[in-house]
């Protein structure tokens, strides 16, 4: 935290540690519930502000999928998402062929890609079987 200019507090340390331990996309409320088990005095605003600081430092990404809710994930390698419209599950995937095809199309139409995100909405296997 110190190397990114974030003031070091016990509450922030707990929030950052729990966030970085997670391997899923988290809503603020989910992270709040996790950290309150460790330190009950941590409030919503503290979690929100800490996540915003992590985002500003490039350590977290904020995502908005179909339902409009903010989800946060650890910053890392580029990946895309498949989102189930029934249960909300999120599957991450990477495919070099997709990336190359996007680059080829951009080159063909003389378009410089600065960034992109690829989200595919559908039904996961569990929801298809219900």
The predicted pLDDT at position 6 comes to 64
Cα separation, 14 vs 24, whole angstroms: 17
* 72: nearest Cα among 53, 85, 93: 53
Domains detected in the chain: 2-74 (1.10.10.10), 80-128 (3.30.1490.190)
Residue 64 neighbours by CB under 8 Å, 6+ apart: 70, 71
pLDDT (0 to 100) of residue 70:
87
pLDDT over 80 at 22, yes or no: yes
- The number of C-alpha atoms within 13 Å of 13 and in the hemisphere containing its C-beta is 5
What are the Cα distances from residue 40, in Å, to 15, 44, 51?
12, 11, 18
Quick one: pLDDT at residue 117?
80
- How confident is the model at residue 1, as a pLDDT? 52
The string of pLDDT tens digits covering residues 1-21 is: 555 566 788 999 999 999 999
Q: Residue 42 and residue 12: Cα distance in Å, rounded? A: 9
pLDDT in tens, 25-84: 899 999 999 999 999 999 999 999 999 999 998 889 888 876 678 889 888 777 888 989
Residues in the chain: 130
């Amino acid at each position: 935290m110190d190397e990114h200019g974030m003031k070091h507090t016990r509450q922030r340390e707990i929030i950052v540690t729990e966030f970085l331990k997670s391997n899923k996309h988290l809503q603020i409320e989910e992270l709040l519930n996790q950290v309150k088990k460790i330190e009950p005095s941590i409030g919503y605003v503290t979690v929100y502000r800490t996540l915003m600081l992590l985002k500003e430092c490039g350590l977290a990404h904020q995502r908005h999928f179909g339902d409009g809710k903010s989800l946060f994930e650890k910053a890392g390698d580029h990946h895309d998402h498949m989102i189930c419209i029934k249960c909300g599950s999120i599957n991450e995937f990477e495919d070099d062929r997709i990336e190359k095809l996007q680059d080829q199309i951009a080159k063909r139409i003389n378009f410089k890609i600065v960034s992109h995100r690829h989200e595919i909405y559908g039904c996961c296997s569990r929801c298809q079987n219900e």
